[in-house]
Amino acid sequence: MSGFKADFLWGGAVAAHQLEGGWQEGGKGVSVADVMTAGAHGVPREITNGVLPGKNYPNHDAIDFYHRYKEDIALMKECGFTAYRFSFSWSRIFPDGVGEVNPKGLEFYDNLVNELVANGIKPIPTIYHYDMPMALVDKYDGWISRQSVDDFVAYGEFLIRRYGDRIKDWLIINEQSIIVEFWKKKNYVPEKYHGDPQVKFQINHHMNLGQAKISKLIHELVEGGRSGAAIGYSPVYGLDSTPKNMLAMLNAEDLKNHFFLDIYFKGKYPVGAFRYLEEHGMAPVIEEGDMEIIREGMLDFLGVNYYASKCVRFPDADKNELTEARSNLSGKKGAMGAYEVMPDFYQYMKNPNADTNDWDWTIDPTGMQYLLRDIYQRYEIPMIITENGLGARDVLEDGKVHDDYRIDYWTKHLQAIHRAIELGVDVRGFLPWSFVDVLSTSNGYQKRYGLVYVNRDDEDIKDLARIPKDSYYWYQKVIATNGAHCLEEE
C-alpha cells in the first residue's frame, strides 16, 4: 500500500535553455545561456562574450522542444504525469530584458500552458533558471547591478498577471545556492569582477530582493497563488565526530543551506554565516529597507533539488585558503577539479563512506530522508521535490535504453521520501530531473538524466528522436500505482 496521498503530484522537470532550442526563433533575444559553448572531455564549457564564430553552442537547437512540445506532452501524458516543471525564458518574452514584449514568444508559452492544462498536467513554472537576458548584461552587468531587481520584478509581474488564472504554484528562482557556488558558470560575470568573491553574495542579495517582491505580488494578484523557490540542496555531513569537524559541518550548513532557506522562510540571514562573510569582506551591501522587503515576501513552499550529499572537515592548516569549487569535467570518477574551502570555516571533501556517479556526485538516498526531515523540523513548510536524478552515459542498444541504475537510484530516493512522509514531513510531489534528456549545464550531452532518450550528441543533432528508456516504463507503473510499485522492495 502506498502512503503517498491521493493528490501527490507525479511528473518531471526541465529548464527552457536546456531543451527549447529555437534560440533566435520568433523574435527571441539572446540570453547568457546562448553564449555557453559545448566543451569536451577535460575542456570546460565556456561562456563567451557574445556568440563567436567557430564555437559550438549546443543549446541553440537543444532538443527542439520549441517545435516538438506537443509530441513531448503526449509522452508525459502516456507516462501518467499530473505535473510538469518548466521554466520561462526571460529573453523569449522580453528580448531586451525590459520594455517591449515579444508576441511570438508569448504565443509559444500560451500554447504550452494550454496544452498542458488540456492534458490534465499541472504547469509548475520557474520564472528564472540561469538565463539572464544578454541585453541586461551588456547594459549593466546583469545581476551585479541593483537595477536587475526592478527589471526582474517587471518580468515576473507580467508572467503572473498573464498566467495567474491557470498557474497557482510558482517557483521564482532556481538554485540560488548553485548560482553562488558556481557564480562564473551559471551567470555571465564580466572578467573585471572575477577576483572579488563578494560579488557572488551581492548577486544573491539582489535575487533575494527580486524574489521577495515577486512573492508579494503572487500573494496580491493570484487568487490562491503560492510562491516558492527551487533550491539546490545538499545535506552536509561532517567527516567524523571530532569536535572541529562537527563545527565545520555546522558552518557549512549555515553558509550553504540556511543562508538561503532562512531568507525564504524566516526573512533573515543566519547570523553566524553573515558575520563570517563580514569578517572576510564578502558580505553583501544591504540598503535600508531591504530586510523589510524580504520579510514581506517570504515564500509559501520549497522546491527541493536534491542529487547528492556533501562532506566537510575543518580546513587543514596547509589548505586553509579560499578555494572555489570546480566540477569534474571528464566524467572519470575521482577527477573532481577542486573542492571548496572557506578559510577557518570548512573544507569540502569526498565522502569516504559513499559511492558516486562518474562525475563524482555522491549517490546517497538516505540523504533525501535526512534533508526532508531536517528542513521540515526547521521551517515546517510544504515541499515538492523539483529535481532529483542520476547523470549517466546511457547507451542506445537496438532501440532501447536499459537504465536499471537510474531505476535503482529513483526507487531508493522515493522510498526515502516515503519514509519521511510517514514520519510527518509534508512532501507534495515528485518531479525528477529530468523528463527527457536535456543539455547538462556542466557536461553537455555526454551526461544524460532523462526518462526519455533523445537521439543527439554534443556535435551532431541527428534526428532528435524520442525513445522512452526502461526507467520511463518503470515510472509509468510507479505513477499508476501512486508509488506502491517502488515500495514493493522496501
391 sits near ligand BG6 (criterion: CB under 6 A) = yes
Helix (H) or strand (E) holding 100: none
Rule CB under 6 A: choose which of 447, 448, 466, 485 binds ligand BG6.
447
Residues ≥6 apart with Cβ < 8 Å to 280? 322, 343
Residues ≥6 apart with Cβ < 8 Å to 200? 179, 180, 183
CB of 305 vs ligand BG6, minimal distance in Å: 6
Amino acid found at 55: K
387 sits near ligand BG6 (criterion: CB under 6 A) = yes
Nearest residue to 240 via CA among 345, 317, 314: 314
Residue 229 or 273: which CB sits closer to ligand BG6? 229
Please report the DSSP string for 169-219 in residue order. EEEEEE-HHHHHHTTTTSS---GGGTT-THHHHHHHHHHHHHHHHHHHHHH
Angle between helices 365-379 and 259-266 in degrees, nearest 10: 40
450 sits near ligand BG6 (criterion: CB under 6 A) = no
Give the C-alpha distances (Å, rounded to integers) separating 457 from 156, 438, 461: 34, 10, 6
31 sits near ligand BG6 (criterion: CB under 6 A) = no
85 sits near ligand BG6 (criterion: CB under 6 A) = no
Residue 231 or 421: which CB sits closer to ligand BG6? 231
Parallel, antiparallel, or unpaired for β 346-349 and 341-342?
Answer: antiparallel
CA angle 360, 361, 365 (to 5 degrees): 140
Rule CB under 6 A: choose which of 228, 232, 429, 483 binds ligand BG6.
232
Question: What is the C-alpha to C-alpha distance for residues 453 and 476, in angstroms, rounded to an integer?
Answer: 15
Rule CB under 6 A: choose which of 148, 211, 305, 446 binds ligand BG6.
305
Active-site position among 20, 175, 253, 340: 175
In 6-48, DSSP assigns E strands to 9-13
Local structure of residue 26 (DSSP, 8 states): G
Residue 17 or 213: which CB sits closer to ligand BG6? 17
Cell numbers at residue 47, please? 561562456
210 sits near ligand BG6 (criterion: CB under 6 A) = no
* Phi-psi label, residue 289: left if phi above 0, alpha if psi -120 to 50, beta otherwise: left
Helix (H) or strand (E) holding 228: strand 226-232
CB of 13 vs ligand BG6, minimal distance in Å: 8
Residue 155 or 445: which CB sits closer to ligand BG6? 445
Rule CB under 6 A: choose which of 4, 11, 15, 21 binds ligand BG6.
15
Rule CB under 6 A: choose which of 119, 356, 442, 482 binds ligand BG6.
442
SS3 56: coil
476 sits near ligand BG6 (criterion: CB under 6 A) = no
Local structure of residue 4 (DSSP, 8 states): S
178 sits near ligand BG6 (criterion: CB under 6 A) = yes
**Sign of CA pseudo-dihedral 368, 13, 174, 383:** negative
Active-site position among 181, 253, 340, 387: 387
412-441: contacts with ligand BG6 (CB under 6 A): 433, 440-441
158-177: contacts with ligand BG6 (CB under 6 A): 174-175
CB of 3 vs ligand BG6, minimal distance in Å: 28
Residue 137 or 178: which CB sits closer to ligand BG6? 178
Nearest residue to 471 via CA among 415, 408, 407: 407
Residue 142 or 238: which CB sits closer to ligand BG6? 142
356 sits near ligand BG6 (criterion: CB under 6 A) = no
CB of 443 vs ligand BG6, minimal distance in Å: 6
CB of 283 vs ligand BG6, minimal distance in Å: 25
CB of 290 vs ligand BG6, minimal distance in Å: 26
Q: How many residues belong to the site for ligand BG6 (CB under 6 A)?
A: 15
Answer yes or no: 387 catalytic.
Answer: yes
Angle between helices 243-252 and 271-279 in degrees, nearest 10: 90
Applying CB under 6 A, which residues contact ligand BG6?
15, 18, 174-175, 178, 232, 305, 387, 391, 433, 440-443, 447
Task: Provide the annotated active-site residues.
Answer: 175, 387
